Amino acid sequence: MPSNTVTVTMSDLVEEVLDKLYRPSERPRQAQLAEAVASNDTAFDLDSVSAGNMAPTDVLEFGRELMLVTAVSGVQVTVSRGYNGTTAAAHDVSTLGTINPTYPRHLVDREIRKCVKNSMQKELPLVVSETLYAGSGSNATDQSMRDIDEDAIDVLDVRYREPLTLRIDKVRGYWDLEDFLPDEAGYTGKQLKVPRGYWDKDLIVTYTCLYSWAGSGESATLTVPLLSSDLPVLYAVAALQTGVEVSRQEFDQIEEWPQQERNARGANVRLLQALWGQYYQQLDAAKGMQNLTPRRPYRRMAHRL
C-alpha cells in the first residue's frame, strides 16, 4: 500500500464511536463474569455487585453478543443467548460487559461497515500503486497481460521503468483493465492489457480498488486514505444519534425540506445538519488530499474526413 494510507482497527473505531455517543456520566452500568461462559450456557454467575444490579428483562452485552435476562437468583442469571440478532459466543472469566446498552457494539460495527462499503467506496476510492513485473502474468504465453489485484476497479495511470537507466515514464498506447476473461485461456483473475512495446518492462500501475477488511470481528483491520480514519466514526455517530442516514444530495437540500418531510424524518434538522455536516466536511478534506485526476487509457481517434 502507498504511504498516503493508514490502517485502522474495528475495535478502536467502535470505542471512538461510543466515546462520542456517551457522556462520561451516561455510560451504561457494567457487569463482570465470575466464571467462564461457553457459547451454549444459559445460566452463569456474575460478580455480586453486577448481580445486584440485574433484573429480568434486562439486556446484558458481552463483546458483541446481547443476552436477555430471564431470571436472577443470587449471583446467578439465566439468559436467552444471541438476543436481537447477535451471535452466541464464549466469554472468559472476569470479562466486563454492559447492562442495557443504548448503543450495542454490533450496531456500531454495522454502521461503520456501512460507511466504508457505501459512502467511502462511492466518494473516496482507495488508490493503490503497485509494480507489475515483466513476465509475471498467470498466462505465460500471453505477454500482453499482467495479473492485477482482484479488487481493482479502475486503472488510473500506467508508467514503465527502463531496465538499464531505471528512468520512469508514461506508457504510450492502448492499455486497459480486462475482466471476465475465459478460464480455459489460462488467466487467473483480473488482467491489465499492456501495449506491445512494453511487454518486457516493469510497469508501475496506479488504480482504485475495493476497501477490504482483513480479519473478522473487532480485530479486523482496514487500510484507508489519509484524513479518512475518522470518517467511519463520524458516520456511525451521525447515523445512530439521528436514527437516519442522510445522503450527500439530501444534506445539500436540508434547508429546503418541507415541514411534512421534516416530521416524517423524525429528527431535529439542526442536529442532522451538525452531525452529517461534520461527516461530509471531513469527507471533502480527505478527497482533497487525494487530488485525483482520473486518466483514461490512450486510444487513437478514428480518422475522419
Same domain, 157 and 200: yes
For the residues 86-104, what does the mean pLDDT come to? Answer: 95
Q: Is residue 277 part of a domain?
A: no
pLDDT interval class at 159 (50, 70, 90): very high
User: CB within 8 A of 3, min separation 6: which ones?
Assistant: none
Question: Which structural domain, as residue segments, surrounds residue 54?
Answer: 25-101
Query: Would you state the pLDDT for residue 302?
Result: 55
CB atoms within 10 A of CB 5: 16
User: In 3D, which of 20, 10, 16, 23 has the Cα closest to residue 275?
Assistant: 20
Place of cell 485502522: 8
Place of cell 431470571: 71
Looking at per-residue pLDDT, the higher value among 187 and 230 belongs to: 230
Q: Is residue 9 part of a domain?
A: no
pLDDT digits (tens, 9 = 90+) for 50-64: 888 899 999 999 999
Rounded Cα distance, 246 and 278, in Å: 12
Q: Is residue 114 part of a domain?
A: no
Query: Would you state the pLDDT for residue 300?
Result: 54
pLDDT digits (tens, 9 = 90+) for 258-280: 766 666 665 677 888 899 999 99
The SS3 assignment for 101 reads: coil
Q: Is residue 33 part of a domain?
A: yes
User: In 3D, which of 6, 248, 4, 22 has the Cα closest to residue 115?
Assistant: 248
Between 8-22, 139-153, 206-220, the lowest mean confidence (pLDDT) is in 139-153
Same domain, 132 and 71: no
For the residues 71-88, what does the mean pLDDT come to? Answer: 95
Q: Is residue 161 part of a domain?
A: yes
Domain's final residue, options 164, 182, 209: 209
Same domain, 162 and 97: no
Same domain, 199 and 133: yes
Query: Would you state the pLDDT for residue 266?
Result: 58
Q: Is residue 229 part of a domain?
A: no
Residue 87 predicted with pLDDT over 80: yes
Contact (Cβ atoms closer than 8 angstroms) between residue 137 and residue 178: no
92: exposed, middle or buried (C-beta count within 10 Å: 0-12, 13-18, 19+)? exposed
Query: Would you state the pLDDT for residue 1?
Result: 45
C-alpha cell read off for 304: 475522419
pLDDT digits (tens, 9 = 90+) for 207-254: 888 999 999 989 999 999 988 999 999 999 999 998 888 888 888 887
Domain's final residue, options 209, 235, 265: 209
The SS3 assignment for 192 reads: strand
Q: Is residue 139 part of a domain?
A: yes
Dihedral of alpha carbons 91, 67, 22, 24, sign: negative
Q: What is the pTM of this model?
A: 0.82
Q: Is residue 116 part of a domain?
A: no
CATH code for the domain in which residue 33 is found: 2.40.30
Number of domains in the chain: 2
